[in-house]
Chain A
Amino acid sequence: MKRFPKYIKLGMVSSMLLILSACSDSDNDLPEVTPPPTPEPVIYSFEVSVTNLTYAQPLSPIAVVLHDEGNLFSLGETASEALEIMAEGGDNSELLALSVALATGSSEDVLMPGTSTMVEVMIEDMMPSNISLATMLVNTNDAFTGVNARSIADLAVGESISLLTSSYDAGTEANSEMMGTIPGQADGGEGYNAERDDVLDMVTMHSGVVSVDDGLTSSVLTQAHKFDNPTMRVVITRTQ
């Protein structure tokens, strides 16, 4: 939205030029030739409202990506390094830099349980086909939730899509729940580590955290960190 006033100014300048050229033509009898108007850039704008539905799993800054092709993740396939970096440490910068991204947005802060935030994302001159979201459940080894290439091609201005999301396991780090392995407040441990030591180096549904209260003696997590699906509510509204 920051750049929006620029377009208004540009539009004003071009209409003034039109008036000026019309004046200069008024002295002769030649038929008036109106130059083709400078096309106004068409803006497609989306508001993405996100609510954290968990009890004690803050969500890392929400990455929002508009794209025509590709996926941020695919169930049953190996996670990209960009996804691994987000899912293990909450850093979404590599996801936002993906080459398929036509436009991106991100919330600034960690989204605490029970709270909501809004991310705005906009693009000029082309209606994007898909929207994707991704965010880490920070009191886990490599759990994340999100929206995977949801079609918005037919979304009219003012229309919304409401979704409840499930949680996934990036498959890039073992769910040891051990001290030093979890970046969230529950541990303050390590985030991204390039080593892949999960039982399965593939994206699957997350099986939930076990916690010390539910039989994993070495876990730094407690019953408070358990979660079930869905973990996030998402409302995508096309505003322009």
Chain B
Amino acid sequence: MKGKLLTLSALMALSPLTMAQQLEVTVTNLTNGIHYTPLVVTAHTDAVSLFTLGESASAELQAMAEGGDISGLVTVLGDASADVVENPAGGLLAPAASTTAMLDTDDANMYLSVAGMMLPTNDGFVALNSWPIPTEAGTYTVYLNAYDAGTEANDEIINGGGASGTPGIPVAPGGDGGTGATGVTSTEANEMVHVHRGALGDDDPAGGKSDLDNTVHRWLNPVAKVTVVVM
């Protein structure tokens, strides 16, 4: 009887369906002139997700997308027994820079998500959303798109506004933002999470519609590369 139990537990340990895994997650910023705020890297169950395209952003996602504050998302993920690495880059992830997070996942946390705000934007963020973690060891590459949280008008005015519900962009970390813009738009017609339409920018650093530089702060998808090594 004892032998039988041992065999059974050995089988369970080998079962790929509920196996704890070790992951090395490397995120590379592929953009020319966009910084990423501290990233959240997490393995979680299918009972929770950072967002759903075509649905409203949660307050926690909004705080991340408008101001780079991941604490709310980390709390929600922690309550859902997710495995979480906060801020692997130790601050902003600059254009062309990479950061690596080591993640030991619990049995049921079979989905990988990554998110961070894109600066300078109003509520743009980069994300990997509930990517099924392969059970087979190997190296996997995923390219990420830029999303718009749908919570703030993309006025492209840099005014320090980072709190949820406050218009404006907190900062242009590259020191390459303008001033005195009149604003690109004052409305957000699509209030659901959607694929970001990109920044407009202009060529007038001391005025114009936008405080963004149209030769520096635009992007095309994909905006990030995630390399996942399943050990």
Tell me whether A199 and B97 are in contact (CB under 8 A): no
B225 to A: closest C-beta gap in Å? 7
Distance in angstroms between the alpha carbons of A214 and B209 in the assembled complex = 12
Q: Which residues of the partner chain A approach B221 to less than 8 Å between Cβ atoms?
A: 229
Tell me whether A210 and B218 are in contact (CB under 8 A): yes
Closest to B97 in A: A76
Q: Which residues of the partner chain B approach A177 to less than 8 Å between Cβ atoms?
A: 215
* Known A76-B28, A169-B32: A203·B96 in contact at CB below 8 Å: yes
Q: Which residues of the partner chain A approach B215 to less than 8 Å between Cβ atoms?
A: 174-177, 210, 216
With an 8 A cutoff between CB atoms, is B54 at the interface? no
B199 to A: closest C-beta gap in Å? 9
Q: Which residues of the partner chain A approach B203 to less than 8 Å between Cβ atoms?
A: 210, 215-218
With an 8 A cutoff between CB atoms, is A165 at the interface? no
A19 to B: closest C-beta gap in Å? 53
Tell me whether A207 and B220 are in contact (CB under 8 A): yes
Tell me whether B33 and A215 are in contact (CB under 8 A): no
Tell me whether B31 and A204 are in contact (CB under 8 A): yes
Tell me whether B214 and A205 are in contact (CB under 8 A): no
**Within the complex, which residue of A204, A217, A218, A229 is in contact with B95, where a contact is CB–CB below 8 Å?**
A204
Tell me whether A205 and B201 are in contact (CB under 8 A): no
Q: Which residues of the partner chain A approach B214 to less than 8 Å between Cβ atoms?
A: 210, 214-216
Interface size class of B (residues with CB under 8 A): 20 to 34
With an 8 A cutoff between CB atoms, is A75 at the interface? yes
Tell me whether A199 and B176 are in contact (CB under 8 A): yes
With an 8 A cutoff between CB atoms, is A11 at the interface? no
With an 8 A cutoff between CB atoms, is B216 at the interface? yes
Q: Mark A146-177, 1 if CB is under 8 A from B, else 0.
A: 00000000000000000000110101001111
- Give residues of chain A (191-211) contacting chain B, Cβ–Cβ below 8 Å: 199-200, 202-208, 210
With an 8 A cutoff between CB atoms, is B51 at the interface? no
- Give residues of chain B (69-124) contacting chain A, Cβ–Cβ below 8 Å: 95-98
Tell me whether A205 and B218 are in contact (CB under 8 A): no
Closest to B213 in A: A199
Q: Which residues of the partner chain B approach A217 to less than 8 Å between Cβ atoms?
A: 203
A202 to B: closest C-beta gap in Å? 4
Tell me whether B96 and A202 are in contact (CB under 8 A): yes
Tell me whether B33 and A199 are in contact (CB under 8 A): yes
Tell me whether A229 and B28 are in contact (CB under 8 A): no
A220 to B: closest C-beta gap in Å? 13
Q: Mark B196-221, 1 if CB is under 8 A from A, else 0.
A: 00101111000000000011111111
Enumerate chain A interface residues (CB-CB to B < 8 A). Answer: 75-77, 166-167, 169, 171, 174-177, 199-200, 202-208, 210, 214-218, 228-229
Enumerate chain B interface residues (CB-CB to A < 8 A). Answer: 28-33, 95-98, 174, 176, 198, 200-203, 214-223, 225
**A-B CB proximity, top 3 nearest:** A202-B96, A205-B30, A76-B96
